[in-house]
Every structure is written in C-alpha cells, then in structure tokens.
Copies of this chain bind each other. A is one copy, B any other.
Amino acid sequence: MSKVFVNIGLSLDGYMAPEGMDLEHWEDPSYKNWGAKWGSLMGWILKQQYFRENLQFGSGGETGPVNDMLRETMQRSGASIMGKRMFDAGERSWPEEAPFHTPVFVLTHEEREPWERPGGTTFFFVNDGPESALQKARNVAGDRDIRISGGADVVQQYLNLGAVDELEIALAPVLFHGGRRLWENLDEAIPQFKIDSAHSTPDATHLRYVRV
C-alpha cells in the first residue's frame, strides 16, 4: 500500500513559514522581512538543479545527494495533499506547468471544479475533510506514495489521524521567532517516530523519520 509521507522545510525553531508570509503581503516580501526569512529557509532547495528545472527557474544548479533526494521525492509521489492557504499562494507562484505532475487534493471549504494544468497536475478541491482527501489520494496513487505537502495545520491533522508513515524534514539553521509553528495542536496520542537517516549540508540538515 502507498506510504503517506510528509516532506517539509522547517526553521530550527520549528516554523514552517515566517510571520507576515500571507496572501495579503504576497507582493511585499519586505513586510516583517518574510521574503528574506523564507529565502533563508529554502536557500538549499532553490539552487538544486532538479528543483530549478521543475519550477522553471532556469538551467544550472547543484547536482549531488540533495538533488537526488528531490528527484526521488518527486518520483515516489503518486498524489499530494495540501491546505487551501498553500494552494492560494502556489496558484500565484507556480509556473503554468505546476510542479506536481500528479493529482493534488486541496483541503478547502470552497467548492470548485477540478483545475487541470499542463504537465499532469490536476487540483481537486475536497470539502469533506482530511480522511476523505487521503482516501481519494490512495485511489489514484497506485503503487506510489502520498505526499502531505503542508501547511502546518494540514500536517498536524494527518499526524493526529495517525496517518503519517514517514516524516522528512529539511531543518534549516534559521530562527524565525514567529510564524506558522509545526509542533502544536497535536494530540497526546500521536504516533512516535525513529530516525531513519540524516544528511547534513551547510544549508540544512535533511532528517528522515519513520514510524516506530
């Protein structure tokens, strides 16, 4: 059966996004300095060859173990699940050929027809909750795995459902001091994880945890 995995960037102090990084201030990255903070969180990925190609950032970029990890993450993914805030931000930012190349299930209260993009990404808008979205993702993922893309509240919901098999965190050496915190709103009985692997570069420590 498909594994369910989380793959996210996290600040050393546990934030998935800095304060001020919201739709209202999307065009103003100097607001609370969110643009620079986000850049420092994601600096490691922005220079990888595979990521640059996928986001149509241009040619070049690093190759090596981190680039390989990115490719493997993409290749194992048969479907993604994300929250509405993340989708809204991406809708403004992704290239026309959205960087998923699979079905993506967006948790939202908004009703909307599926949105098909060139390159194999179709966004489906799910109004009946995270368990339904996960079932829909399983139905289409085949042998491939299901990625929980974020944001923090969506990751929390799937952790609380006990549905997450693997937790992949790129821990960046930046202190945000505020923003969207990953480690909150969790139930007492959340599953526990053990370290599976760690790979460190000067930009981030890539931690992989699997269910105990």
Contacts and interface: CB of A to CB of B under 8 A. Distances in A.
Interface residues of A toward B: which range? 20 to 34
Contacts of A171: 171, 207
B13 A173 contact: no
Interface string A4-15: 000000001110
Name which of A186, A195, A201, A204 has the most chain B CB atoms within 10 A of its CB.
A195
A183 B183 CA distance: 11
Contact of A192 (B174, B193, B201, B209): B174
Contacts of A187: 177
Grouping DSSP codes into helix (H, G, I), strand (E, B) and loop, the A interface class, with mixed when no group exceeds half, is loop
A185 to B, nearest CB: 10
Copies of this chain in its oligomeric complex: 2
Contacts of A174: 192
A11 to B, nearest CB: 9
Interface in A3-61: 12-14
A144 to B, nearest CB: 26
Contacts of A186: 13, 175, 177
Contacts of A175: 183, 186, 190, 192-193
A112 interface: no
A-B CB proximity, top 4 nearest:
A198-B200, A13-B183, A173-B195, A14-B14
30 contacts: A12-B183, A12-B193, A12-B209, A13-B14, A13-B182, A13-B183, A14-B14, A171-B171, A171-B207, A173-B192, A173-B195, A173-B209, A175-B183, A175-B186, A175-B190, A175-B193, A177-B186, A177-B187, A177-B188, A177-B190, A194-B202, A195-B200, A195-B201, A195-B202, A195-B204, A197-B200, A198-B205, A200-B207, A205-B205, A205-B207
Given A12-B193, A171-B171, 15 more contacts: A12-B209, A13-B183, A13-B186, A173-B194, A175-B186, A177-B186, A177-B187, A177-B190, A195-B201, A195-B202, A198-B198, A198-B200, A198-B205, A200-B200, A200-B207
